[in-house]
Structures are given as structure tokens and as C-alpha cells.
A = this chain, B = another copy of it.
Amino acid sequence: MFRTHTCGELRISDIEKVVTLSGWVQRSRKMGGMTFIDVRDRYGITQLVFNEASDKELCDRANKLGREFVIQVVGKVSERSSKNDKIATGEIEILVEKLDVLNTSATPPFTIEEKTDGGDDLRMKYRYLDLRRPNVRKNLELRHKMTMEVRRYLDNQGFLEVETPVLIGSTPEGARDFVVPSRMNPGEFYALPQSPQIFKQLLMVSGFDRYFQIVKCFRDEDLRADRQPEFTQIDCEMSFVEQEDVISNFEGMAKHLFKTIRGIELTETFPRITWHDAMKYYGSDKPDLRFDMQFVELMDVLKGHGFGVFDSAEYIGGICVKGAASYTRKQLDQLTDYVKRPQIGAKGMVYARVNADGSVKSSVDKFYTQEVLQEMKAAFNAEPEDLILILSGDNCMKTRKQLCELRLKVADELGLRDKNKFACLWVIDFPLFEWDEEDERFVAVHHPFTSPKEEDIQYIDSDPGRVRANAYDMVINGVEVGGGSIRIHDSELQNKMFEVLGFTPEKAKEQFGFLMNAFQYGAPPHGGIAYGLDRWVSLFAELDSIRDCIAFPKNNSGRDVMIDAPAQLDPSQLDELHLIVDVKEEEN
């Protein structure tokens, strides 16, 4: 037996027990004929004591142990003279009688501590060592706990976890598929699922009533900080439900997770905001509601006073930053530079301070009377010491998005985006279609199976852009953690959707024929939701990137640098698959 206890388990009540521990050498120090070694495992750290006076040979061997050696010791639990409050075993230590080295260790390329000297690349290459750091491990422990609680909640609600296939067919809609050549069917390919969307709908047709799955999904997209080629979804679907049923059930799940994982009791119903209002007041379909700063539109107030920029604008709007009148000119210039960055693209920023006496001083005073400025102040309900920041532009939606970036930036600066604070909401009433400039056609905002609102179906031919969907997103702290919709269960309406989306009947049949067939045999009304597990774990773990809650993530080129994948295949593998690789020299 390698151990009687873990390294996090022994307490003052265990004194005098003879115990066996196994673990890694965290650090060691010598002090007056004694050697102290901290031994570590997943559960904690325990202090070992070797006494030169009582066993010189043993103490000499202890002195030779390097960091990260794997050792096994037998010894007696003893009370510590000076307690260590920082660790759970801090009241005891082990007087070691026997020491075995189970494995040696080369010197790690970076220190295995909460704060490490290892850079990102090095830590990814040696991910197995990075995972030894307690903070990294804790993210994965939280992830485990969260999936356990998701399953517990959904199981209690009568949901069945059903595994859907990973080797499926490729569908050109949506993002790019990863594909898998089939050796048994030469020239043909499977695709990896971007989501189990169609299968979960088929399960509803099958009468499974309540389905869920925590499942890997795949998208071959160019990667960004918050994207991985493989990611994990909490995928759910219910039959005989309306939007309200799905929202209330999954608001319940969110509250369950907040309570069990973060110890936060959320008693209030989550606010709901329409997509239209979210764009109007926050310039985003995933507003961060940890703080206020709603947009105020100022076209009526500020247009037509001779300030050319505003006079030619299609949109003028601003935010009021409470108590920030003390922002210096330099800080304001930096904010202006920020919104003028090409990624954001504003032309400039106008600001105004509310003085202690209530008067307003703005950067465009020469165009506006104090009367107009007071009118503006009133529009914001601004008070002395407040700062008003204004953007304008010739495209309403674009300017709102710029103002959204400004709002978030200011909130960051003021420390209003506290990771330890959570603001949850539902965004509802999304548009069903959006116009794709490039393809010059309407595309589905969510996917082609999302149902239109009953009262908007009348506009589906005449004014598709006006049709709202039975679609909803759950947003936490400005992050879309999940989204879903009530699906179309009627074949005719589904065919109409395909028509508006520009599918010929042949193409619709080729791509979704089996779903259309299935819908002929009594499809129930149904709807569902899917959560991005990685994102949600990141939120709960207060991380900046989803990468830190994934055991073995890939880098921005989709590479796993630890195992060095992807890689070239053995030519015989390509032969068996009837494939020829056609890469020009300059590309590789």
C-alpha cells in the first residue's frame, strides 16, 4: 500500500498515529540539524521532518531529494511547535522514520507554484507540469463539479442524457466542418458535429421528451483567444414546451449552479431584455449588466446646432459615467484613442463634465449653449461630478457597437467589471433573419430550425427583416453563456424558411432531407438551449481565457504543442484512405 492518508488529510486529532504518505517534493529546507520537506499531492501539503541526530543516514538521503521527486514516507504524526495557518495540515508534521524514492525528477522548466515563471508557450509544451499548479488544477476540479451538478439538476428534471454520433455528415450551412475520410467508403467523408442540433431534434421526434448531453463539438474556424477547435456544449432539448417553459427550467439550472458551485443564492427572476432594447441601450446582444451606464440617444438634443460632425450623423448617443468628472485630459485622450482604434473605428469622442455647481463643460462648447447642455444633462439624469461621453456616426448599429466598447472600457478602468460579481439576464426576441451583405441574401441569425413568432409570420415573405424569432440567449457578465430557441415542428413552415434562406427545394432535401422526412411522422412542438461549458466554467473560475479550464487546449494555430499534433501521416495511411496531399512548397 502506497499510503494510509493523503497529503491534505492529517489533523491534530491524528497525533501519534504512524502513517504512510506518498507525494511530490514541493520544497525543502535545512535548519539546525533538521530537514523540513513539504510533500504535495492533489489534496494538500504536509510537512515532513528528518532529524539528523536521530538518523543521520535518513536525513542525508532527505537532503538529496530534488524538487518534484516522488517519495513515500512512513512516520509518526506530531504536533507542530509553530503552526502554519495557510495549509489545512498546518497543525501537524510527520517525524519520518522511513523514506523511499518512488521516482526521481529532472529540474522542471518552470516553478510549480501558483505564481510561476513559465511563459505561456513553455507551460503549454509542458502542460502536464503546468497542471500540477494548484490554481490550474482547481479550474478543472470546478469544471468536474459543475458538470456533476448540471447532470444532477437535469436528471432530477427527467432529462435523459443520450449520446449522439461524432461521425456524422457534412452540412455546408454554418461554420466550416472538420471532416474524416472513410476508409471503408473510399472517396467519402464523415464530418464532426458543430453541435448535435439535428440529432436532438430527431430525439424529440422519437418522443424522448427531455434530452441533454454534455458533448464535444467541433468548428474549423480561424481561432481567437476565446475559441478552440473542439469545445464542450451542454446541449438540451424539450418537447411540448413554449419559450417560457425552456427559460424557466434553465433559469432554474443556472440558479442551481450558482448555489452549488459559487455559493450564491439568486432569488430574483433574471431580467429579460429584448434584442432591440439590448442594442439600443447597450449596443450589444450580450450586455454586461454588472453596472449601469445605459446609452442615451441625443439626436433630438444635439443635432442641428452647427456642429458638423453631429449634424451629419445618423446616430448620436452617449453614456454617463457617475462621479468621473475628475478624469484628466490625458485619460480622456486615451479613451478617444481607444475608440479610434481600427478594431473599433469611431471617428472621435465628445465629452462633457458636470461641474459641482451643476453647469456643464464640454469639449464642443463653442457649438452649444449652456441651455442645450443642460438639456443634455437632463437626458442623462446627470449630477455634479458626472462625466458624459458621446459618440456619433453615420451608421446607427455600428456607432452603438463602438459606444458599447467605450462603455466596457470605462467600466474596466473604474473596476466595475468585478469577476466576483455576477449579472445574469435573458436576451429575447432576436430577429429571425439578418441580411448577409456578401451573399446578398437573408441568413438565419440562429439556425434554419428556429421558429418565428406567431404574430410575425405574416411578414415572412414581405419583410423578413421584421420577423422576430422565438429565440433567447442567457448572458452573464457580458458573456453569452447559452442560447436556444423554439424550433419549427411544422414541415410547411420549415420549407418556407428554407425558401426565404435561398435554398432550392432540391438543396434543402439534399442537406436536411432526413429531418424533413422525420417531421412528416408526427413531430411534437419542441425547443431547447445549448450552453458553452468552457465559457461558463471560465466565468465561475474567474478566468480571462477558456483555455485555462481545458486540460489540454490547442494554441491559436490549432496545434497541441505538447503532443505536436497535427502531424504528417505515414504514406501508407494516405494510400489506405485513397488520398493525395496537394500542398505547394510555399504553403507548408
Q: How many residues of A contact B (CB 8 A)?
A: 123
Give which listed residue, B22, B42, B183, contacts A176 with CB less than 8 A: B183
Q: How many copies does the complex hold?
A: 2
Give the docked Cα–Cα distance between A557 and B188 (Å).
12
* B522 x A105 contact (CB < 8 A): yes
Task: Give A16-46 as 1s and 0s: 1 = Cβ < 8 Å from B's Cβ atoms.
Answer: 0000001010000000000000001111000
Question: Counting CB contacts under 8 A, is A367 at the interface?
Answer: no
Task: Give A143-162 as 1s and 0s: 1 = Cβ < 8 Å from B's Cβ atoms.
Answer: 11001100100010000111
Cβ–Cβ < 8 Å partners of A222 in chain B: 184
Query: Which one of A202-210, A419-427, A440-448 is at the interface?
Result: A202-210
* B218 x A514 contact (CB < 8 A): no
* B522 x A190 contact (CB < 8 A): no
Could you tell me the distance in whole angstroms from the C-beta of A302 to the nearest C-beta in chain B? 47
* B102 x A524 contact (CB < 8 A): yes
Question: Counting CB contacts under 8 A, is A225 at the interface?
Answer: no
Give which listed residue, B165, B206, B490, contacts A230 with CB less than 8 A: B165
* B169 x A129 contact (CB < 8 A): no
With A151-B148, A521-B129, A578-B587 in contact, do A490 and B568 touch (Cβ < 8 Å)? Answer: no
Give the docked Cα–Cα distance between A577 and B579 (Å).
11
Query: Which one of A253-261, A318-326, A559-567 is at the interface?
Result: A559-567
Could you tell me the distance in whole angstroms from the C-beta of A189 to the nearest C-beta in chain B? 5
Give which listed residue, B164, B170, B565, contacts A567 with CB less than 8 A: B170
Could you tell me the distance in whole angstroms from the C-beta of A580 to the nearest C-beta in chain B? 4
Give the docked Cα–Cα distance between A520 and B107 (Å).
9
Give the docked Cα–Cα distance between A151 and B577 (Å).
38
Task: Give A94-127 as 1s and 0s: 1 = Cβ < 8 Å from B's Cβ atoms.
Answer: 0000000011111010000000000000000011
Cβ–Cβ < 8 Å partners of A41 in chain B: 207, 209
Give the docked Cα–Cα distance between A568 and B103 (Å).
52
* A2 x B241 contact (CB < 8 A): yes
* B566 x A185 contact (CB < 8 A): yes
* A566 x B199 contact (CB < 8 A): no
With A206-B128, A208-B137, A578-B581 in contact, do A565 and B181 touch (Cβ < 8 Å)? Answer: no
Cβ–Cβ < 8 Å partners of A550 in chain B: 163
* A186 x B42 contact (CB < 8 A): no
Cβ–Cβ < 8 Å partners of A128 in chain B: 202-203, 205-206, 518, 521
Question: Counting CB contacts under 8 A, is A180 at the interface?
Answer: yes
Cβ–Cβ < 8 Å partners of A176 in chain B: 183, 573, 576
Chain B's closest residue to A160 (CB) is B144
Question: Counting CB contacts under 8 A, is A328 at the interface?
Answer: no
Cβ–Cβ < 8 Å partners of A559 in chain B: 185
Chain B's closest residue to A183 (CB) is B220
* B514 x A563 contact (CB < 8 A): yes
* A190 x B140 contact (CB < 8 A): no
Cβ–Cβ < 8 Å partners of A151 in chain B: 148, 151
Could you tell me the distance in whole angstroms from the C-beta of A262 to the nearest C-beta in chain B? 19
Cβ–Cβ < 8 Å partners of A78 in chain B: none
Give the docked Cα–Cα distance between A199 and B128 (Å).
9
Chain B's closest residue to A205 (CB) is B128
Question: Counting CB contacts under 8 A, is A570 at the interface?
Answer: yes
Give the docked Cα–Cα distance between A579 and B583 (Å).
8
* B184 x A558 contact (CB < 8 A): yes
* B169 x A141 contact (CB < 8 A): no
Cβ–Cβ < 8 Å partners of A143 in chain B: 162-163
* A578 x B583 contact (CB < 8 A): yes
Give which listed residue, B22, B106, B558, B582, contacts A240 with CB less than 8 A: B22
Question: Counting CB contacts under 8 A, is A338 at the interface?
Answer: no
Question: Counting CB contacts under 8 A, is A523 at the interface?
Answer: yes
Cβ–Cβ < 8 Å partners of A177 in chain B: 573
Name 28 A/B residue pairs within 8 A (Cβ), A-sorted.
A1-B242, A24-B524, A41-B209, A70-B524, A105-B521, A132-B207, A137-B208, A147-B161, A165-B554, A166-B192, A167-B178, A167-B230, A167-B558, A170-B573, A172-B570, A178-B180, A184-B222, A186-B583, A186-B587, A187-B581, A188-B566, A188-B568, A189-B569, A190-B566, A202-B552, A578-B587, A579-B579, A580-B582
Q: Across chains A and B, which 4 residue pairs bring their CB atoms closest together, nearest first?
A: A169-B565, A105-B522, A131-B206, A2-B240
Extra 4 A-B pairs, beta carbons < 8 Å, given A3-B240, A170-B573: A163-B216, A185-B557, A185-B566, A188-B566
